[in-house]
Amino acid sequence: MKKLFLFTLLCVITMTTQAQTNLSDYLTKRMPKRETRAVWLTTLASLDWPKNYARSEESIKLQKQELIDILDKYQKANINTVLLQARVRAATIYPSDIEPWDQCITGVEGRAPGYGYDPLGFAVEECHKRGMEIHAWIATIPVGAKNSLGCRTLMKKGFRIRNFSTGSYLDPADPSVAPYLASICGEIVRKYDVDGINLDYIRYPDGWPRPSYRDGDTPDQRRSNITAIVRAIHDEVKAIKPWVKMSCSPIGKHADLSRYSSKNFNAHDRVSQEAQEWMRLGLMDQLYPMQYFRGDNYYPFVADWVENAYKREIVTGLGTYFLDPREGNWTLGDLTRQMYVSRDLGVGHAHFRSYFLTANKQGVYDFEKQFNATLSLPHKMQGVVSTAAMPYAVNSSLVERREDKSVILRWKAVTPYYNIYA
């Protein structure tokens, strides 16, 4: 790991100097054919979307247009993956048979927008129109305030709920949690042509008491509890559509490294996430570690994720929100250096969160467009044979040349959407 990290860091220093003199030429030469370029699109409290409540046909149009405008910005920056928060806090942005509507859609808990409007269905359609993957982002353990409709509904169903100052949470030791969360993910995969399921907060909450070592409450048992939930969701999703990508967003540092400390906050020991083990077991196709750190708190740990990926994909989660002075004191250079490193390691990137990217904080959106000078395809899944049609090689039989010098490609459609690339 030391040799890999030091070599990469030297490369980054060199290429950063070169990039300052000829950014577009450098980036064009280094464009990968496959690279996940993602954004977390947050619906919690309408932080990113929607800003307009859907209460009438006219307001539904406004809500839809908001999303269209956001996706158009992504497309111009060659973003290819959208992580849309579909389950917020025990409430959803789609018509569910299991949980109530989240208030972000209409402004009222449990209220449907009506008029046949399905926000998640609309988002899937619009993302695919633009050649983007859409992954349903699922907040798993948090269930909101204890008086919220979603939390009250779960309590009526008999789930064990723990209340803290930060909100209410499912108890991962409750054996009914795993099949319940699996049923929610299964419902989404059955109803929608999503490309992935992204599990958020699949861990023990920050304020949870330390293991008591009574009645089986040990660190190993806690990790086993979380892994059981992950396995149940994986098995449900893959039984329905094996090509749907399974991913999660673990804490950005898996564990202490031999030379670098996680400073008492890591995935494995503090919150019982065995994300690297999930990759080894094939329970995850991708990881989006939330690496909202700088310097020695970032670079050694991104290399650690890569070296323990078991040939599966790592997409580094970027703390883009820290570019806003109300959130942190990062400079654009702090973020762009991380993006250079990630690309050199063959790692994709995901911005947290949408607003801070599209609002172009410190010029980050402008840089994203330059950094993604050409289109890239999302990564394929390891060990999965896709049911999609094999790529066509463009030849004269597919090409129609027109008098205005434009070209039309025609072929027999096997799947609904195609990407055209060289």
Query: What is the structure's pLDDT at 13?
Result: 42
Query: What is the structure's pLDDT at 20?
Result: 45
pLDDT of 2 strictly over 70: no
Q: Pick from 101, 134, 128, 133: which is nearest to 117 by CA?
A: 101
d(CA 368, CA 74): 10
For 122, the token pair is 């609309």
Q: What is the pLDDT of residues 302-337, one digit of tens each?
A: 999 999 999 999 999 999 999 999 999 999 999 999
Higher pLDDT, 417 or 90: 90
Q: Tell me if 17 is assigned to some domain.
A: no
Q: Tell me if 5 is assigned to some domain.
A: no
d(CA 340, CA 20): 12
The phi, psi pair for 245, rounded to 5°, reads: -75, 130
Q: Tell me if 173 is assigned to some domain.
A: yes
Residue 394: pLDDT band by 50, 70, 90 thresholds? Answer: low
Domain CATH number, residue 128: 3.20.20.80
pLDDT of 287 strictly over 60: yes
Q: Tell me if 418 is assigned to some domain.
A: no
pLDDT of 54 strictly over 50: yes
Q: Which of 221-230, 297-306, 376-385 has the lowest mean pLDDT?
A: 376-385
Q: Tell me if 400 is assigned to some domain.
A: no
Query: What is the structure's pLDDT at 9?
Result: 52
Query: What is the structure's pLDDT at 28?
Result: 59
Residue 384: pLDDT band by 50, 70, 90 thresholds? Answer: low
Q: Tell me if 100 is assigned to some domain.
A: yes
d(CA 188, CA 126): 17
d(CA 265, CA 257): 12
Compute the mean pLDDT over every residue in the chain, rounded to the nearest whole number.
Answer: 92
pLDDT of 1 strictly over 60: no
pLDDT of 261 strictly over 50: yes
Q: What is the pLDDT of residues 122-153, one digit of tens each?
A: 999 999 999 999 999 999 999 999 999 999 99
Query: What is the structure's pLDDT at 12?
Result: 54
Q: Tell me if 1 is assigned to some domain.
A: no
Q: Which of 4-8, 255-259, 291-295 has the lowest mean pLDDT?
A: 4-8
Distances (CA, A) of 188 to 27, 135, 294: 38, 10, 36
Residue 25: pLDDT band by 50, 70, 90 thresholds? Answer: low
Mean pLDDT, range 352-357, rounded to an integer = 99
- Classify residue 298 by burial, with Cβ atoms within 10 Å: 0-12, 13-18, 19+: buried
Q: Tell me if 366 is assigned to some domain.
A: yes
Mean pLDDT, range 208-225, rounded to an integer = 96
What's the number of domains the chain is made of? 1
Query: What is the structure's pLDDT at 97?
Result: 99
Query: What is the structure's pLDDT at 29?
Result: 63
Query: What is the structure's pLDDT at 24?
Result: 64
Mean pLDDT, range 68-85, rounded to an integer = 99
List beta partners, residue 407.
401
Query: What is the structure's pLDDT at 382?
Result: 77
Query: What is the structure's pLDDT at 406?
Result: 80
- Which residue range forms the structural domain that includes residue 316? 32-389
Higher pLDDT, 411 or 279: 279
Query: What is the structure's pLDDT at 119?
Result: 99
Residue 402: pLDDT band by 50, 70, 90 thresholds? Answer: confident
For 282, the token pair is 């094939």
